[in-house]
Chain A
Amino acid sequence: MIVDDNEYVRESVEILFKSEGGCLATAEGGKECLEQLEAGFKGVILMDVMMPHMDGWDTIREIVSRGLYDGNIIIMLTAKREPDEKMEEIQSYVTDYLTKPFNPTELLEMASYYGSLLKETPCHDAA
């Protein structure tokens, strides 16, 4: 699942995954991400940091507090190179980081690697 407020980012990543025969769920904010998790989504979550209303960190905090974290792997998408120091407590829930604009190959490798760690990658069609 990709969580990003930028529509073009969401769509391009979706196109990339589909071109490789994968599947991707999309969420335009933390609220939608939480809804899908409540609905039973399990898998790799590509989480953008800077989003309006509820940023990436807030969303992770909410995921953890609602007990929705288990069975998921979170990869943070950042424009900045380093994670914010004050987010130290939440960083333990972040498995990896990707810096925007990311190399498509790198993204796909990372997604498939972490996806295999989760053994099965359920595919929810967002459409």
Chain B
Amino acid sequence: MNYRQAHTLTTVTNKVQYMKTTTKYILASSIVAIMIVAMFGGYFLSQYQDYEVREEQEKLENCIRTFWELLNHKGTDFRVVNGQLLAGAYAVNGNFELPDKVQDIFGGVATVFMGDERVSTNVLNAEGKRALGTRLVGPAYEAIFKQGRTYRGVVNILDVPYLTAYDPIKNRQGEVIGALFVGIKESEFLERMHDLKVHLMMTLAGMATFFISLMVVLGRALHQVEAANDSQIRFQQTLLNTIPNPVFYKDTDCRYLGCNKAFEFYAGISQDELVGKTPHDLWPEELAECYLQHDLVLLEKPGFQGYEATVRYADGSLRDVIFNKATFNGSDGSVAGLVGVILDITERKAAEEATKNAYQQLWEIVEFLPDATFVVDKEKRVIAWNRAIEKMTGLKKEDVIGKGDYVYSIPFYGERRPILIDLIDENMDLIRDKYAFITIEGRTLFAEAIIPNFRGGADCCLWGTATPLFDSQGNQVGGIQSIRDITGYKQAEGERLLLKSQVDQNRLMETIMVRLGHDLKTPLTPLFILLPLIRKQLAQPDLIKKFDICIKSAISIKNLADKAAVLAKLSFRIQPFDAEDLCLAAVVDDSVLTCEDMLGLKQIVCQNCVDPAVIVHGMPGQLRELFVNLISNAVHFSNDRSVITISAEQHGNALWISVRDEGVGIAADHLEHVFDELFKADESRHDLETSGLGLSICKRIVLNHHGRIWAESPGIGQGTIMRFTLPRKAV
């Protein structure tokens, strides 16, 4: 298991760790137990062996002492006579009494040597007979016969190991003449010892078997858990990798232990490269220090930590993020490290910024709306109060914003009370009476209210619109109301209606005149044919004079009919304004030419003072008609040999054109009426040759050109100026 896996954060891993520790502990303690058992076993065994050896040696000493006593009892003077070992008088050779007696008492074997030759013994040879005549060899022989001392030790007697005791037999001179021997077969003793060892070994083997089995079982369990753990680790890593946010974990030294794919992308290094690194290895000094300080604070005070910070992605981009960090504990319950998740809020921040900007723009739009407007939130607190409503109510933003309790109604009603914005979704029937007019479209209320003595002044007519505001989820978050002072509009509307009725009246009058003009022509036809015929037949001068009056009247009627027809054409046949750029001076020249005859009759000079550079935009036919009418008019009211002057001057943006005569002039109180249809200023104008429609035609033509016409006169007898404006460019 590698370093990273060993530090995986799950409890399973801790469990595995625990199990492994336990297994190791059991293994170690088993070995220790076995060793202790073996040690104690061995110790006891050796102690027991020592005890047994001492027992055997004591037994051996007793045995050999007894042997000596038995022998001494036969005689103490030992000597070899004639190849016979004698103890006193007792002959030892071939006499088995003493060895057998020792064997009866102690078991084992006993021998008397004469020299190194066994002369009395119960040691049996391979054939089962007493091994008489055999000789002593080995270390015992060396000790007895070379050094003259006793010997104790294990000696092989006829290839059988014996625990032996040899004492030298000395004569009176102290010379070693033989030896006494007792022996206990070592094989019996060893057999007992072996049995013990076998028991001990079997015990140890049993223990070992038990522990090994335990190890195997534990090992298997451990393996299974490890396999499960591996898949758990893979699952966890996959899970981590699936999380789109960068995730990392660190140890208590703030070194990275691992991360997910998103973090790899963010950091630009692989997990394997990451492990063991500190923030300072990866990030710019300033950022690393920030992360590290937060890590340390968290480790100091374990739990959860969240903070906003900036990170730099591997691609170099700086992002606004929220770090969520938490400590995790190891199996021992102490803090083992920390885990962190990085939430990229750059877009969210940008969106928040955009929303903020959008709101700012919205507020600015509201602020500069031409209509008095305010916005309330869900609790009916004012959140916007624009310039127009400040101006209308005299109430400043700072006195209203953030306040509720119908603060907005005070400037209108002098008290706190519900107004239109509070009536959205109310039952219409209940509120209809409160307003001069109220209607609802969807959830938007429209109402007209008369506010008496508004702001201490005159009565005021207000038009209000109130509509609820919704957020993007469709929740109602407030309302907006705009108020417009329509007092002026109402008055204007009244005036407009009056004006319209006047216009309608004028139209009706024009219609009547046109019809009349047209219908007059047919009955005039017989008059125009017959009157000249009749006149030819008249002889009496007074009759002729009377008849000429009739003819002039008929001509006058015809002129009236003609003018009426012109007026009709101008009034009703308004065709597309097919105006063109015209040289004004040329139009005037044409018109003067048309009037040549009438000018000639009164020897009147008509001066065209218009600058040939002046270009006007108009309909040539109508403009000629206009000038002809004005010149005719001027001629009509001028004295013989006077002058008519036509001029044009720039006056502001407009072109002022005037036709000035030196004639009878117009009384000041008649100046406004000379353009009325059929108006004839005074008695002097009750002239059959004038129609009274000429100036009406002029007015119509000027209106058709979006100009205006008026008359100026210093007074009766001081001449008249007919002045009108014309556009210089396309209308």
Which A residues are closer than 8 A to B by beta carbons? 6, 8-9, 11-13, 15-16, 19, 79-81, 100-104, 107
Contacts and interface: CB of A to CB of B under 8 A. Distances in A.
A9 B526 CA distance: 5
B529 A13 contact: yes
Contacts of A11: 526
A11 B530 CA distance: 10
Given A15-B533, A101-B528, A102-B529, 6 more contacts: A6-B526, A9-B526, A12-B525, A100-B521, A100-B522, A104-B533
Contact of A16 (B522, B523, B527, B533): B533
Contacts of B533: 15-16, 19, 104
B599 to A, nearest CB: 23
A11 B523 CA distance: 12
B522 A9 contact: yes
Interface in B519-539: 521-530, 532-533
B525 A101 contact: yes
B565 A6 contact: no
Contacts of A102: 525, 528-529
Contacts of A8: 523, 525-526
B528 A104 contact: yes
A79 B526 contact: no
A62 B223 CA distance: 120
B558 interface: yes
A102 B525 CA distance: 6
30 contacts: A6-B522, A6-B526, A8-B523, A8-B525, A8-B526, A9-B522, A9-B525, A12-B525, A12-B526, A15-B530, A16-B530, A16-B533, A19-B533, A79-B518, A79-B521, A79-B522, A80-B518, A81-B565, A100-B521, A100-B524, A101-B524, A101-B525, A101-B527, A102-B525, A102-B528, A103-B528, A104-B528, A104-B532, A104-B533, A107-B529
A70 B85 CA distance: 208
Contacts of A100: 521-522, 524-525
Contacts of B528: 101-104
A19 B535 CA distance: 13
Nearest 6 A-B pairs (CB), nearest first? A12-B526, A101-B524, A101-B528, A12-B529, A8-B526, A101-B525
A68 B528 CA distance: 32
A26 to B, nearest CB: 13
Nearest to B566: A81
A6 B523 contact: yes
A100 B524 CA distance: 8
- Interface-central residue, B518, B526, B527, by most chain A CB under 10 Å: B526
Interface in B18-59: none
Contacts of B526: 6, 8-9, 11-12
A49 B463 CA distance: 57
Contacts of A79: 518, 521-522
Contacts of B522: 6, 9, 79, 100-101
Contacts of A9: 522, 525-526
Nearest to B519: A79
B532 to A, nearest CB: 6
A52 B373 CA distance: 65
Contacts of B523: 6, 8
Interface in B542-574: 558, 565
A55 to B, nearest CB: 14
A107 B558 CA distance: 17
A36 B528 CA distance: 27
A101 B565 CA distance: 13
Contacts of A16: 529-530, 533
Nearest to A107: B529
Contacts of B558: 101
Given A6-B523, A8-B523, A81-B565, A104 B529 contact: yes
A101 B521 contact: yes
A103 B527 CA distance: 10
Contacts of A12: 525-526, 529-530
A80 B565 CA distance: 8
Nearest to A77: B525
Contacts of B518: 79-80
Nearest to A103: B528
A15 to B, nearest CB: 7
A117 B558 CA distance: 32
A49 to B, nearest CB: 11
B222 to A, nearest CB: 112
